[in-house]
Amino acid sequence: MRRRLLAYALPASLALAGIAGTAAAEDLIQIYREALANDPVLSSARATWIATQEAVPQARAALLPSVNLAASANLQDVVQNVHTDPTSRFHQNYGQFGYTVSASQPLFRLQNKIALDQAKQQVGQGDYVLSSADQDLILRVTQAYLDVLLAQFNIELNESQKAAVSENLAQAKRNFEVGVATITDTNDAQAKYDQIVAQQVSVYNDLDNKLAALRAIIGRFPRDLKGFNRQFQIEMPSPNEAENWLAQAVANNLQVRIAQANFDIATLEVDRQRAANFPTLDLVASFNQAYAGAGSTVTVSSAFSSDSRLAIVGVQMNWSIYQGGLFDSRVRQAVANQDAARLNLDSARRSAQLAAQVAFTGVSGGAAQVKAFEQALKSAQVSYDSTKLGLEVGVRTNLDVLNQQQQVFQTRFNLAQAYYNFVISGLRLKAAVGSLTEADLEEINRKLGA
């Protein structure tokens, strides 16, 4: 796959994976909106949500009038022998036609009424499931986007370090040739250079994998991506108290809401199974029209025809008093499922608390880590400059310079990684309390390519 290094324009004090914005570069919002249209996981969730909406009309239909039409057309062939003296035999063919229109309106069906309440709960739960899929897409897109930026930055660091070591290697060779350095300096520089060249395969493969992960979401390989190319002010969550976020997670986490809906549906299922043993009352009406046409009479009987009408309006009660213990068994089953749903709800609340705690720690700890690596980068740069000066005056070796140079590049990578972890932890914290939206992505996007 074609690889092209992107230009980075970050101040050395920050050294985050900043990709200079170009006209062709895509930003986070562009990638996200394309994912909205092409991500198969979200598309599947939307289709499931649409299907769930039909639960209410289907449940309501059991409480509304129903009308049925039944019709028949038959050819009758009647043979009758009357054993008298003499024996009489009748044989007749004739057509018989008829239709029945029947209608019913439930007056009292408690089980169906509860089923409608369950359907409404299912529709509400479907909204939470779809919202959860939306939040999951935001997290997946952001994670994949930042992973690509970090992989690209790692390649940039690798190339920069390769160039620096190559220059150091050339200098070591020149010094050895003029007799002011030993062959050890050249060997150290050569070993470091070969190590960096070997690492290139790994860092390029890592970029390929990260691009493939983003392609799995949007359906294509992305073009150049905009990165952070200016000082980003670390913003702590508001309120900056873990307990507040934990409380919000227990109340508003989408998985908790889904589990709560499951428990409510299971509770209604207990009531529905108990109501199944109640009598039902329906208003019923029917109209029947029948006609028997004249046919051919083979023997003594004469041909005949007839028609009839029957109209009925009334009230019908049904009560299934006993079915071998089926009702009681279904109630016990529903109660057990209710207990399972209650335990799943408790598990969801604990998981939400854990997710909020981990995310909050990631944000607060990430902010501290970013500041620590910023200072570490400054210190590493100063140490590198001092080591180079020490090499010039003969108190440090070329290997010392190479090691300190590697420390500078590694610290730059650690700083970028810490910053990206801070960003994704902030989104995960909002997802833990069910408040993550596209607006949060837009806030991050405003800091790209500026």
- For the chain, domains (ranges, CATH) are 28-63+109-278+324-445 (1.20.1600.10), 66-108+280-318 (no CATH)
Residue 228 has pLDDT above 50, yes or no: yes
Cβ pair 411, 370 in contact under 8 A: no
Q: How far is CA 183 from CA 54, 174, 178, 187, in A?
A: 80, 11, 11, 6
Q: How far is CA 327 from CA 117, 267, 298, 318, in A?
A: 21, 16, 57, 15
Cβ pair 91, 78 in contact under 8 A: yes
How many Å apart are CA 291 and CA 191, to the nearest integer? 105
Residue 34 has pLDDT above 60, yes or no: yes
pLDDT grade for 269, boundaries at 50, 70 and 90: very high
The pLDDT score that the predictor gives to residue 135 is 96
CB atoms within 10 A of CB 34: 17
Q: How far is CA 438 from CA 31, 132, 249, in A?
A: 12, 13, 19
Residue 391 has pLDDT above 90, yes or no: no
Residue 39 has pLDDT above 70, yes or no: yes
Q: What is the mean pLDDT of the chain?
A: 86
The pLDDT score that the predictor gives to residue 143 is 95
Taking Cα atoms as reference points, which of 337, 115, 116, 356 lies closest to residue 256? 356
pLDDT digits (tens, 9 = 90+) for 169-183: 777 787 777 776 678
pLDDT digits (tens, 9 = 90+) for 139-169: 999 999 999 999 998 898 888 888 877 777 7
Q: Where do we find the tokens 């004249």?
A: 294
Cβ pair 244, 238 in contact under 8 A: no
pLDDT grade for 121, boundaries at 50, 70 and 90: very high
pLDDT grade for 10, boundaries at 50, 70 and 90: very low
